[in-house]
Chain A
């Protein structure tokens, strides 16, 4: 069993404004230099979860991202072909996958394992699973886990390549949670199913759990697919989607929102290339 102790989220939808730099500057005026918006987004989300709390130095840091820092890739290409210059050292450094993780580790003075997981589809689920494995094995006592994705425009192009409908709004976010083996003071438990499922397996899984458990679906789940999964059940849906556009790590926003606002239990179901993954969150009594 693993426990969620803190959560924090920063998110916005297409068309909304989010001045990440200004917000982060009010928290840490000194840690602006050399960081770009993606890194600041990571820092800001982690800060929403942890604030000024001093974490154990051995806390591991796992960060997930669907696309990583694509904006810096564009800057590097522009330097080469538009400005006819070699890469700026700061942009090359910021193009590394673990740069955001470094800044988060440095800000919170974390000296444990520092991982960055990157993939399209299930990136948050896989990263949670890695953390769950390490916590269950006793390899880690505590993991600060986050998912960061920055909105890239034009949105129509991104939607096409990510395989989501034109009607869906894209978004961006930085969503973090502190996971631990320690029960005391926890907000919720979290259980990531270890295996991928097909449609019939996910339906059977849903039918096997408490009818009071709410259900939420990832953006890639279409309405016909959702109807097929629910299959006439009178199960309450947790509709986090209205406040959040699509990004690869939106799963963490859904979980954080439920932990903050929900009641009871939630089963989060996501799909990628006809495979399903599920995560169950159970809220604990709050004092």
Chain B
């Protein structure tokens, strides 16, 4: 079967450092948006990434509208919406419950993951919508799904939105697991202490048609560790398999990859296994960095947000530096301390989730 190529033609994001232009400026100048917060847990401080308390849904519409304005489309009536989110409307349900101290007025339609696609459908009238929820790989899986649908010819235009708001359940849940850092996280650093939970919104328009602004979504793949609910396979089998399959899906060799945009949460388990996977698979030692010290971990939005970062790295031909790292735990991987300008043809972006749910997406400069 002849596959349609897939192009990323417009995008916008909002994270704790601002919009996409501000995000890239923060990444290259290594200015973190993480703040130290005690509003969720008065007895504990936590490094969190927040942008606009109580304005999440209006921000969601604004970000999506920017994508429409940047696109070659008049509207989204012939466009599929694919949302990746892990939180959905839980924040709304929490607000109702915390105010009323009971469940009576919690509405399942406002609680579900699909509350995000419902809100965007009402605003923009998409042709149809899907919602994927696989924790921290949600929007990476949404990108993979969008790629398949365009490959197949089922749709010519797909908007992928990754969106997760901060809420009590996630902040306190990660604290209960003992993986939340009280300071800015330090991915790949020796002796790192944990992650920063953050909120984020990222929207990308994927199309069959190529434009002057296009970056190609060349390949994607997923795998499952089936090893442990919270710990990755220490031999990195699942992470290696998904990156390998994504490179193959793109029709590339591992040596074609110039930069690995890491999942790199700052937790002991994730970063050790991810570095091992990159070291094992990419023997030509491409640059590797995580941008989560800047944005925090935006959970279900991370795959889409880091897809945008990957596209910008290709457009600017500039590798994102590894912020907040003085001494790397794994000396075999190539962690750049500063931004590096070089020819960048292909970038692979990783997303890994609890349950050993792994997804990798490959982006390339358009030939």
Interface residues of A (CB under 8 A from B): 34, 60-61, 66-68, 70, 73-74, 76-77, 80-81, 86-89, 92-93, 95-99, 101-103, 105-106, 109-120, 126, 130, 133-134, 136-139, 157-158, 161-162, 194, 196
Shortest Cβ gap from B4 to chain A (Å): 11
B253 at the interface (CB under 8 A from A): no
Q: A102-B356, A111-B238, A134-B148 are in contact. Are A96 and B135 (CB under 8 A)?
A: yes
Which residues of chain A come closer than 8 Å to B174, judged between CB atoms? 92
Do the beta carbons of B168 and A106 come within 8 Å of each other? no
CB-contacts of B220-257 with A (<8 A): 221-227, 229-230, 237-238, 241
Do the beta carbons of A117 and B224 come within 8 Å of each other? no
Distance in angstroms between the alpha carbons of A77 and B175 in the assembled complex: 16
Which A-chain residue is minimally distant from B224 (CB atoms)?
A114
Which residues of chain B come closer than 8 Å to A158, judged between CB atoms? 108
Which residues of chain B come closer than 8 Å to A101, judged between CB atoms? 134, 224, 355, 357
Do the beta carbons of B172 and A106 come within 8 Å of each other? no
Shortest Cβ gap from B153 to chain A (Å): 10
Shortest Cβ gap from A21 to chain B (Å): 18
Size band of the B side of the interface? 35 or more
Interface string of B141-177 (1 = CB under 8 A from A): 1001100110110100000000000001100111111
Binding site secondary structure of chain B? mixed
Which A-chain residue is minimally distant from B110 (CB atoms)?
A161
* Contact partner, B169, options A92, A117, A130, Cβ 8 Å: A92
Distance in angstroms between the alpha carbons of A134 and B3 in the assembled complex: 13
Do the beta carbons of B229 and A34 come within 8 Å of each other? yes
B317 at the interface (CB under 8 A from A): no
* Contact partner, A80, options B1, B111, B168, B230, Cβ 8 Å: B168
Which B-chain residue is minimally distant from A126 (CB atoms)?
B130
Do the beta carbons of A105 and B224 come within 8 Å of each other? yes
B73 at the interface (CB under 8 A from A): no
Q: A93-B229, A120-B114 are in contact. Are A138 and B1 (CB under 8 A)?
A: yes
The winner among A73, A136, A162 for most chain B CB atoms within 10 A is A73
Q: A106-B227, A111-B238, A133-B152 are in contact. Are A116 and B134 (CB under 8 A)?
A: yes
The winner among B3, B221, B230 for most chain A CB atoms within 10 A is B230
Stretch at the interface among B95-103, B262-270, B286-294: B95-103
Shortest Cβ gap from A133 to chain B (Å): 6
Shortest Cβ gap from B223 to chain A (Å): 6
Do the beta carbons of B229 and A102 come within 8 Å of each other? yes
Do the beta carbons of A118 and B229 come within 8 Å of each other? no
Distance in angstroms between the alpha carbons of A96 and B355 in the assembled complex: 9
Shortest Cβ gap from B141 to chain A (Å): 6
* Contact partner, A119, options B41, B130, B224, B355, Cβ 8 Å: B130
Do the beta carbons of B114 and A119 come within 8 Å of each other? yes
Do the beta carbons of B141 and A119 come within 8 Å of each other? no
Distance in angstroms between the alpha carbons of A28 and B333 in the assembled complex: 41
Instruction: List the 6 closest pairs (A to B, CB-CB), nearest first.
Output: A102-B355, A92-B173, A113-B222, A97-B133, A119-B114, A114-B224
Do the beta carbons of B135 and A133 come within 8 Å of each other? no
Shortest Cβ gap from A135 to chain B (Å): 11
Do the beta carbons of A117 and B132 come within 8 Å of each other? yes
Do the beta carbons of B230 and A93 come within 8 Å of each other? yes
Do the beta carbons of B173 and A87 come within 8 Å of each other? yes
Distance in angstroms between the alpha carbons of A66 and B114 in the assembled complex: 9
Do the beta carbons of B117 and A119 come within 8 Å of each other? yes
* Contact partner, B154, options A88, A133, A138, Cβ 8 Å: A133
Do the beta carbons of B103 and A74 come within 8 Å of each other? yes
Do the beta carbons of A87 and B176 come within 8 Å of each other? yes
Do the beta carbons of A114 and B90 come within 8 Å of each other? no
Distance in angstroms between the alpha carbons of A134 and B144 in the assembled complex: 11
Which residues of chain B come closer than 8 Å to A98, judged between CB atoms? 133-135, 137, 353-355, 357
Show 18 residue pairs from A and B whose CB-CB distance is below 8 angstroms, ordered by the A residue: A67-B112, A73-B90, A73-B111, A73-B169, A89-B177, A92-B169, A98-B355, A101-B357, A103-B229, A105-B226, A112-B223, A113-B221, A118-B112, A119-B112, A119-B113, A133-B149, A137-B151, A137-B152
Shortest Cβ gap from B244 to chain A (Å): 12
Shortest Cβ gap from A252 to chain B (Å): 17
Shortest Cβ gap from B152 to chain A (Å): 5
Which residues of chain A come closer than 8 Å to B148, judged between CB atoms? 130, 133-134, 137, 139
Do the beta carbons of B41 and A161 come within 8 Å of each other? no
Distance in angstroms between the alpha carbons of A162 and B111 in the assembled complex: 12
Interface string of B106-127 (1 = CB under 8 A from A): 0111011110010000000000
B22 at the interface (CB under 8 A from A): no
Q: A76-B169, A98-B353 are in contact. Are A118 and B223 (CB under 8 A)?
A: no
The winner among A87, A88, A157 for most chain B CB atoms within 10 A is A87
The winner among A70, A110, A119, A158 for most chain B CB atoms within 10 A is A119
Q: A76-B169, A106-B226, A113-B223 are in contact. Are A118 and B355 (CB under 8 A)?
A: no
| Additional A-B contacts beyond A118-B133, A137-B148 (16; CB < 8 A) | A73-B93, A92-B176, A95-B169, A98-B135, A99-B355, A105-B355, A110-B226, A113-B223, A116-B133, A117-B130, A118-B114, A118-B131, A119-B113, A133-B148, A133-B152, A162-B108
